[in-house]
Amino acid sequence: MPKLKIVGGRRLSGEIVVDGAKNSAVALIPASILCDEIVEINNVPDISDIDALEEILDYLGVKVERGKHSIVFNDTKIDNKFIPCSMSGKLRASYYFMGAILGKYKHVDMCFPGGCSIGERPINLHLKGFEKLGAVVREDDGRVIIDADELVGAEIFLDFPSVGATINIILAAVKARGKTVIDNAAKEPHVIDVCNFLNSMGACISGIGTGRIEIIGVDHLHSTKHNVVPDMIEAGTYVIIASLLGKNLKVSNLEPLHIESLTSKLEEAGVNLEIGDDYIFVADVSEYKGIDIKTMVYPGFPTDLQQPMTPFLVSCEGISHIEETIWENRFQNIADTIKMGASIEVSSDNKVATIYGSSKLVGKEVSATDLRGGASMVICGLIADGETIIDNISYILRGYDDIVGKLNRVGADIKIVD
Ligand code: EPZ
């Protein structure tokens, strides 16, 4: 199995260009099935999650042309058959095929989605939303079958502002009869991007980016071309790296507003960030003081950045805390971070990590436990003394387009080895 080999301690200079958002692209691609004409999506990240979605499209007989950072749907008709676990289990976002196929064909038959082991990852809110629109949902041993004679707009309140449930219900509602209202909806930039994508093909969605989204059903969705919004989590990951090792390092093609919760925390720790219209620049690094982080839904501190933030807090002076409020099992990266020399305690309820700073990490053989935990280990390797070998790197390659090339080009000593 390939591994990452990193020799740490190198200062990083130059420019890292952020790609399109994984958590938008993985929704836009299934959503394209809803369109009745040609769809072209650009700025698509070249990552294995997109490969997994393309495999499902191919299985369903959808004709697509895949470029390195683009995908064109020449015909969005599908052969609506059972999607097996071998395909849907490869990623969490396969569940968007439920909303899209239900919204267009009123019948879905597929296995439950997969995804990183950061929590139980239920989809009850998605299925409740489909039922509110008039669908009948049957679950049978990991398989879900959804049928609707007709989808009729409804008032839906989400118990939690779930990103996936918000997007999936929108996909099922864009062609439903009448008006659907989603209350307590998610406001993440990738949710906004999907709504803008659907509106660009003639959907009628309002309240975009607010907690109350209204969808008026339409009959036809016409051709569109769409650029995926920049990946706020990829951007944040590289801004953290720049804060630790940057020497005139620029992270560009980002929307600063999307990661304001991160940059405000980095500045609170003492990082000197130059924040431009679409970039963030770090001229040099210095000593930082420990801070406390609590993960929240957008615009709060994103759960997807708490693991990449851990090595930063390990480097800060003093004591820091991370409180993870979204996922019940998102500290799996901490064991190997301690193995590299960090001093961290996790509460018995697995919700709070206390980080005793000023630790100097030493390169070790470690493993990626999940996507963002893997990114966290890369950062540990970049700042550690000596050589770090990271196993299970398929997790990392699921969500970070060309992470090795991007880091190499700014001076990191990182390579994929067998
Ligand atoms: C999306 O997951 C992202 N994945 C996750 O990013 C991200 O951590 C998460 O949103 C929160 O921002 C994709 O977009 C593919 P949720 P999703 O539904 O949609 C509970 C990454 O690293 N919940 O907002 O699955 C759930 O248990 C990945 O890129 C229900 O209870 O997240 C969790 O506690 C990891 N029932 C909370 O809501 C449901 O039906 C947040 O889940 C759905 C969710």
pLDDT tens digits, one per residue of 356-373: 998 899 999 999 999 999
pLDDT of residue 120: 79
Ligand 1, atom nearest to 118 Cα? 35
pLDDT: is 91 or 239 the higher one? 239
What are the tens digits of pLDDT across the range 41-91? 999 999 999 999 999 999 999 989 999 999 999 999 999 999 999 999 888
Burial group, residue 286, by CB count within 10 angstroms (0-12, 13-18, 19+): exposed
What element of type H or E holds 251? strand 246-252
Q: For position 358, what pLDDT does the model report?
A: 84
The pLDDT-based confidence of 168 (bands split at 50, 70, 90) is: very high
122 lines ligand 1 (CB under 6 A): yes
Q: Is the CB of 300 under 6 A from ligand 1?
A: no
> How far is CA 294 from each of CA 150, 206, 353, rounded to the nearest angstrom?
42, 30, 10
User: Does the pLDDT at position 115 exceed 80?
Assistant: no
Q: Tell me the angle at which helices 232-245 and 306-315 cross, rounded to the nearest 10 degrees.
A: 10
Q: Given this model, what pLDDT does residue 372 score?
A: 97
Q: Is the CB of 305 under 6 A from ligand 1?
A: no
Length of the chain in terms of residues written: 418
**Sorting pLDDT into bands at 50, 70 and 90, what band is 121?**
confident
Three-state DSSP state, 278: coil
Which of residues 90 and 249 earns the better pLDDT score?
Answer: 249
Confidence of residue 259 (pLDDT cuts 50, 70, 90): very high
Asked if pLDDT for residue 188 goes beyond 90, the answer is: yes
What is the 50 CA–ligand 1 centroid distance (Å)?
18
Kindly give the distance from the C-alpha atom of residue 169 to the centroid of ligand 1, in angstroms, as a whole number.
14
Confidence class for position 323, pLDDT limits 50, 70, 90: very high
Per-residue pLDDT band for 119 (boundaries 50, 70, 90) equals confident
- Residue 116 pLDDT > 80, yes or no? no
Catalytic residue, candidates 35, 111, 116, 316: 116
pLDDT surpasses 80 at 14: yes
Give the pair of three-digit tokens for residue 28: 């836009």
The CA 358 to ligand 1 mean position distance, Å, reads: 32
Q: Name which residue sits closest to atom 42 of ligand 1, judged by CA.
A: 162
Set out the domains of the chain in order of their start, with CATH numbers: 3-19+230-417 (3.65.10.10), 22-227 (3.65.10.10)
Q: Is the CB of 71 under 6 A from ligand 1?
A: no
Average pLDDT value for the chain: 96
User: In the prediction, which pLDDT does 117 show?
Assistant: 79
Supply the residue whose CA is at minimum distance from atom 31 of ligand 1: 122
> In this structure, which residue's CA is closest to atom 43 in ligand 1?
123
The full DSSP string for 83-124 is B-HHHHTT-GGGGHHHHHHHHHHSEEEEEPP---SSS----H
Mean pLDDT of 105-129: 90
163 lines ligand 1 (CB under 6 A): yes
Predicted confidence band of residue 31 (pLDDT cuts 50, 70, 90): very high
End-to-end C-alpha distance for the chain, whole angstroms: 6
C-alpha distances out from residue 358 to 267, 317, 368, 415, Å: 18, 5, 23, 27
Region 246-269 average pLDDT = 98
Is 116 noted as a catalytic residue in this protein?
A: yes
Name which residue sits closest to atom 26 of ligand 1, judged by CA.
121
Query: Would you say the CB of residue 82 lies under 6 angstroms from ligand 1?
Result: no
Query: 340 alpha carbon to ligand 1 midpoint, in Å?
Result: 29
Ligand 1 pocket check for 27: Cβ under 6 Å: no
Contact 32, 76 (CB under 8 A): yes
